[in-house]
């Protein structure tokens, strides 16, 4: 089973400031992050489900707006042909989040539910593991026979494992990290982002 990279737990889920060169994408990811934080503060409340659904929607919007921002900086053709675009399109967790968003909005068959999770708390001097209630995706498995998901049986099995074992905030943090890395690698290649700025962000 694939597990999240962990990059954005240490960095507070924030996208690098230099990705503001893609303003719509940056704005939607920041909005998604904001609503995700709200959802995790009180996972037992009805509001948490609303926030989680909105966070999913904002992230999908960020992915949808990538070509819009790329076109503005004059790299539309390069993006269409790039391996980074294909990498984002193939990423299973991002595809899972997009499907989850669509199902939660259009057929109300996927929601989020609180349950216990082992969480590592990182402090200034030490870290420890604590059991906390947090939101998990609920309902993707029930859609496993739905042809509209456009996922293979192997991918559906992996998504089922993710749904059972990985909290929503970790899933979305992985999405932010993957999106950030693909976009900045593309922008570095075409000199829209400085490689040294990228190194400083990821090594701080």
The alpha-helical segments, DSSP class H, found in 42-82 are 46-64, 66-72, 76-81
What residues are paired with 5 via a beta bridge?
A: none
What integer best gives the mean pLDDT of the chain? 79
d(CA 105, CA 59): 14
Report d(CA 130, CA 97) in Å as an integer. 26
Q: Residue 86 — very low, low, confident or very high, per pLDDT cuts 50/70/90?
A: very high
Question: Confidence class of residue 200 from pLDDT cuts 50, 70 and 90?
Answer: confident
pLDDT of 147? 52
Average pLDDT over residues 134-141: 72
What SS3 class is residue 112?
strand
71 assigned to some structural domain: yes
Does 146 reside within a domain? yes
The residue among 29 and 1 whose pLDDT is bigger is: 29
Q: Which of 69, 65, 72, 36 is nearest to 53 (CA)?
A: 36
What is the extent of the structural domain holding 119? Answer: 7-203
Instruction: Give the CA count within 13 Å in the CB-facing half-sphere of 7.
Output: 17
Q: Which residue has the tokens 């990182």?
A: 122
The top-scoring range by mean pLDDT among 66-75, 85-94, 104-113, 148-157 is 66-75
Is residue 57 a part of any domain in this protein?
A: yes
- Total number of domains in the chain: 1
Q: Are 51 and 42 in contact (CB under 8 A)?
A: no
Residue 46 lies in a domain: yes
118 Rama class: left (phi>0) / alpha (psi -120 to 50) / beta? beta
Establish if 1 belongs to a structural domain.
Answer: no
The answer to whether the beta carbons of residues 61 and 28 sit under 8 Å apart is: yes
């Amino acid at each position: 089973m694939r597990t999240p990279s962990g990059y954005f737990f240490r960095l507070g889920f924030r996208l690098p400031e230099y990705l503001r060169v893609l303003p719509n994408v940056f704005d939607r990811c920041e909005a998604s992050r904001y609503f995700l934080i709200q959802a995790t503060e009180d996972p037992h409340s009805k509001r948490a489900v609303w926030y989680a659904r909105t966070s999913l929607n904002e992230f999908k919007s960020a992915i949808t707006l990538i070509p819009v921002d790329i076109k503005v900086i004059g790299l539309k053709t390069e993006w269409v042909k790039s391996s980074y675009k294909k990498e984002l399109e193939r990423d299973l967790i991002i595809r899972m989040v997009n499907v989850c968003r669509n199902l939660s909005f259009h057929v109300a068959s996927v929601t989020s539910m609180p349950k216990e999770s082992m969480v590592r708390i990182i402090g200034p001097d030490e870290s420890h593991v604590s059991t906390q209630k947090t939101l998990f995706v609920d309902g993707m498995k029930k859609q496993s026979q739905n042809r509209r998901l456009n996922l293979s049986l192997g991918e559906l099995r992996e998504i089922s494992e993710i749904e059972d074992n990985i909290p929503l905030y970790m899933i979305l943090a992985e999405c932010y990290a993957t999106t950030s890395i693909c976009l900045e690698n593309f922008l570095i290649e075409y000199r829209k982002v400085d490689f040294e700025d990228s190194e400083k962000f990821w090594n701080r």
